[in-house]
Structure 1
């Protein structure tokens, strides 16, 4: 079944990911980082299945470990000294906590962007920004689809070269290098030709011309209105809490975290509900779909 949240209006999709990514980047409080990490992890698995589990483990864990270790090695600020390195520099609790927080933030943002790339297709992006910045929106949409499209094409080229015995797995080191350069050359030529064809095609269709009309199947219906009302309530509750001082944290020179109260709990809850909305929407739609199938 297709992801239900992806069928919502593109502005809502874009606004949702913009908000969660910005909060993940700038709110370094442990509770917010944990909520963002769990929400991104669950939604990425919901969207991509086993591929997301593999990506999160093979890519996320190394980033977590490297980022968490790198900060204490190079940053020695903080008043809580745990021990000293052989170089004489101190190992501080503050640098360890900040390194762990930064690594969790980085992995969370990467996972949210993987979900974004799955939901925000190029036609949605052009629909939102096509009238405002037509040239830039086209370039950005092409960049966003660069990796999956070119990855698919290079597999096709590699298989065709392998069929005539010119793959990078054939021959000695020199021959493999030559075959690899050949594949890269073919790929580069294809990319340039594809870019020229795309530019000519868009120009022939009058893309970016003043007064040009645009057709779109996207409509802001009652379902989108309900989502907007719910999302705004959660966002306003979150922003009020942040403005009141909830979720503040200082790492250097000592760790200072804002005191917990009822408002902070409401702030954490509103952000957690906001992060989990797409998954809840998918689950509700799946239950509804199964009920409809049973009635047939």
Structure 2
């Protein structure tokens, strides 16, 4: 278990709300660079092997989104060339890169969220407020990873018996894909019935039910939550003051490097670096303990 995962669920949830919420609206180049760097660093710290596998998805998606914008948007003053009478501008290209960076960064944050915020933590936070909604969201968040895992197992099992959808004639591949989908749907329906029976057997829906949890709000959680909230409010203030604003059209805005701007940039970096700082601190602490043994 990673060090950041051991914090109280409300601290983890508050951090990801702040990180994802700010990342979705800050299109300033400096903020985008901080967001992208922080999201990648946290992914390497929390899910190193899965992260490097996911680049097969992220890299094509990044370039696809970056290319789409200059093809559909022809605004801007710095024209590179004309394609069928439509201007290809530097501003449109840079805005496409900014949008792609923001979307990929948000996806990376959600990847870390799925690792850190398990279903029991989510139900602990929202189970008393809205038990049905928290359970529905928890099941929904687990649905895609479970389907992917089960689909991988089905494909591997089918390859063993000669039903490989990547080889053979077109008709053979279609038969294999239909067979795999049929098995996956059957598994999903059976799993839904098992889940319903299990919930009924455990008394779900009974009034005045209790819930067991091992989560205790400690002093370190209070300190971490306070720091997150202060930095979050600071960055909201930066947004209201216009520090996070950057224009791509009709031409590029200016990037400020005055003292106030640098302080706001630093506050955003500190906010997104909290989990990584916790991981680094725990790693040094563990090495120190090992050296004294």
TM-score normalised over the length of structure 1: 0.91
State whether structure 2 residue 180 is matched by structure 1 residue 183: yes
Number of residue-to-residue matches in the alignment: 293
Per-residue CA distance 1:91-119 (angstroms, 9 max, x = gap):
22321221111111111111111111111
How many angstroms does 1:270 deviate by?
A: 0.8
Indicate the SS of the match to 2:273: helix
Per-residue CA distance 1:206-227 (angstroms, 9 max, x = gap):
3344322111111101111121
Residue in 2 that maps onto 1:212: 209
Structure 1, 24-33 or 169-178: larger mean CA deviation = 169-178
Distance in 2 of aligned mates of 1:163 and 1:219: 48
Picking from 61, 64, 67, the partner of 1:63 is 61
2:14, 2:225 within 8 Å by CA — same for their partners in 1? no
How many angstroms does 1:13 deviate by?
A: 0.8
State whether structure 2 residue 248 is matched by structure 1 residue 251: yes
Residue in 2 that maps onto 1:50: 49
- Residues 1:59 and 1:167: Cα distance change in structure 2 (over 3 Å): closer
Residue in 2 that maps onto 1:281: 278
2:80, 2:90 within 8 Å by CA — same for their partners in 1? no
Distance in 1 of aligned mates of 2:150 and 2:53: 22
1:134, 1:208 within 8 Å by CA — same for their partners in 2? no
Gaps of 5+ in 2: none
Distance in 2 of aligned mates of 1:248 and 1:90: 26
Name the Cα RMSD after superposition.
2.0
- Residues 1:183 and 1:61: Cα distance change in structure 2 (over 3 Å): closer
1:37, 1:104 within 8 Å by CA — same for their partners in 2? yes
2:246, 2:254 within 8 Å by CA — same for their partners in 1? yes
Per-residue CA distance 1:246-293 (angstroms, 9 max, x = gap):
121222233334644222111110110111111110111122122223
1:242, 1:267 within 8 Å by CA — same for their partners in 2? no
Distance in 1 of aligned mates of 2:160 and 2:87: 58
Residue in 2 that maps onto 1:202: 199
1:27, 1:247 within 8 Å by CA — same for their partners in 2? yes
Distance in 2 of aligned mates of 1:148 and 1:173: 29
Aligned residue runs from structure 1 range 21-60, under 5 A: 21-56=20-55, 58-60=56-58
2:155, 2:180 within 8 Å by CA — same for their partners in 1? yes
Aligned residue runs from structure 1 range 154-165, under 5 A: 154-165=151-162
1:68, 1:99 within 8 Å by CA — same for their partners in 2? yes
Indicate the SS of the match to 2:83: coil
Structure 1, 169-178 or 64-73: larger mean CA deviation = 169-178
- Residues 1:199 and 1:32: Cα distance change in structure 2 (over 3 Å): same
- Residues 1:101 and 1:172: Cα distance change in structure 2 (over 3 Å): closer
Distance in 2 of aligned mates of 1:46 and 1:252: 37
Instruction: Say which structure, 1 or 2, has more relative contact order (CA 8 Å, 6+ apart).
Output: 2
